[in-house]
Structure 1
């Protein structure tokens, strides 16, 4: 666990109102980076020293990887190529949803129904054209650090308990710790943690007509212990090869909020989501639908679990999220 001066998760719960249970103000009164603050130049330099072979692996799916889209309101991108004459080409993307493929969620993506958005930024300021909590902050800072692969799929397979595409298996922190010990992996502050559930590779291998009508995926268990584990390990960004990092669909009985209990907010597919803690309360950067299969194979062959990881989020002022644009270099 980390030894820096930041409070652990238990101590966050003892902070005074209105910042109780949050990381608000810990990285600065006007901070808009959240846990990406852990990615310091010193940690980037240390991560660069991990490069041995120079082999690099794209962690990104094509923009049109899913048809129909996994989430209905994130429509399929339309690509048009045109020219001013027969010797010229330009192109245009319409219906482009940055979260329809491999992505990084920005700090605008979720607010907590009872507490609000990260660092207390008012929701009415989070509109197109305003910079508050925009993904451009991630783009300006960049994502460069030590990537660590946690191969849950291999850990499960070794025990004859492979994940089922039809079941939203919920992985608790005890299993995360067991998997780390099985790999012989130790996390360090500022790590970019990649969790391989093996879900994406198997889902894409299915013919379209055989894919489940209701998308389910294994993922992290939505409970306070999961948030505490990620915060206390000082994870800078956590990404996975599944739909939502946490198990999907969400358990509506998990992580209750007063707004829904009192009827001030209608219950929805977001009810019970761990996202409501990780993004707005802790400022934790999350990646979803990252393509890990080639990296996983290379790490297994070379018996490695750490590498240099770089990602360049899109520079969209006030953007909610971005394409991952991520690479791992071994």
Structure 2
């Protein structure tokens, strides 16, 4: 296995990645170049963007991010809610904004490739951890922000599928979404994936959470029980073998919390797939995206694909960014 596989327009399967000896097993290191900084976002080529533009049929657009201070209290106890302190008046006519406690990952966001390192192998593509710091460019979200992300968004409506088969998602618990659930929804929608697709997993969790009263929100945050993908090697293999450029959901962490008891990722914090997805495979994750309006429209017209544009902040050394995403159908 060599570092020019992607240049030869061939990506290895997850089984092949497991057999690597020239890089950590189960990793995509080197596939996009030894100095690559953006991982699977490389799959969003000019050709992919041009093809995505042909999906605009009726001109309807759907913003995929909630207001910057919508999640208050923040779901993560380590983050704070943005405060719009004041509108500054300059010279009596000119106005500027001043905000405080801006945590880019406190709401609808994209996690960059420095968000997680692997407990054994470190950061994506063997980037030295001493280069990952405040203001340093390595693996910073600006690497993605400079180019933006334009491609075919494909919505998989897990929430509606689980309801249709008589097993509605419990949005107040850590209800796990199995690979069978995902594939069942995919088949029911008649979807076919293409290399570089931006996967949008709709559950209804974010809209549900924001509709709760403050006490119920606080209780849910304290319990740390959030629905999401069940951790398994089969799930990881499916996400890689589908060759998605980005995987985004309207849930807290894309994957279920707490992790399932059978999680094989005991080398990772709490058995999460995050380090394997981000640090080994170079796959950016989107979390707490606003997908309900888009999902309702997809359910109405049975068209689950769209042109999707996301423009992360060009914050040098940033770990993540508001997703600044829009779907156009």
Deviates more, 1:82-91 or 1:228-237: 82-91
Of 228, 232, 236, 2:241 maps to 232
SS in 1 for 2:42: helix
The alignment yields a C-alpha RMSD, in angstroms, of 1.7
Aligned mates of 1:55, 1:128 — CA distance in 2: 39
SS in 2 for 1:71: coil
Contact 2:122 2:279 in 1 (8 A): yes
Of 154, 161, 180, 2:160 maps to 154
Of 212, 215, 230, 1:221 maps to 230
Q: Which residue is equivalent to 2:209?
A: 203
SS in 2 for 1:141: coil
Q: Which residue is equivalent to 2:143?
A: 137
1:252 Cα deviation (Å)? Answer: 6.9
Deviates more, 1:84-93 or 1:157-166: 84-93
SS in 2 for 1:89: strand
1:143 Cα deviation (Å)? Answer: 0.6
Aligned mates of 1:46, 1:125 — CA distance in 2: 37
Give matches, 1:253-268, under 5 Å.
254-258=263-267
Q: 1:240 to 1:256 in 2, by over 3 A?
A: closer
So what's the TM-score if we normalise by structure 1? 0.93
Q: 1:317 to 1:252 in 2, by over 3 A?
A: farther
SS in 1 for 2:97: strand
Aligned mates of 2:233, 2:119 — CA distance in 1: 16
Of 50, 74, 77, 1:72 maps to 77
1:285 Cα deviation (Å)? Answer: 1.1
1:251 Cα deviation (Å)? Answer: 4.2
Aligned mates of 1:45, 1:295 — CA distance in 2: 21
Q: Which residue is equivalent to 1:267?
A: none
1:76 Cα deviation (Å)? Answer: 1.2
Contact 2:162 2:181 in 1 (8 A): no
Q: Which residue is equivalent to 2:3?
A: none
Of 5, 18, 22, 2:27 maps to 22
Aligned mates of 2:125, 2:90 — CA distance in 1: 48
1:165 Cα deviation (Å)? Answer: 2.1
Contact 1:34 1:283 in 2 (8 A): yes
Q: Deviations over 1:6-40 (max 9, x none)?
A: 11101111111542221000100000110001101
Residue-pair matches, total: 319
Of 22, 34, 37, 1:32 maps to 37
Q: Which residue is equivalent to 2:271?
A: 272
Q: 1:140 to 1:72 in 2, by over 3 A?
A: same
Q: Deviations over 1:247-300 (max 9, x none)?
A: 123347623455x7xxxxxxxxx3211101000000001100000011011111
Q: Which residue is equivalent to 2:187?
A: 181
SS in 1 for 2:94: coil
Q: Structure 1 unaligned runs (5+)?
A: 261-269
Q: Which residue is equivalent to 2:296?
A: 297
Q: Deviations over 1:227-266 (max 9, x none)?
A: 11111010000100000000123347623455x7xxxxxx
Aligned mates of 2:265, 2:186 — CA distance in 1: 30
Deviates more, 1:289-298 or 1:159-168: 159-168
Q: Structure 2 unaligned runs (5+)?
A: 1-5
So what's the TM-score if we normalise by structure 2? 0.93
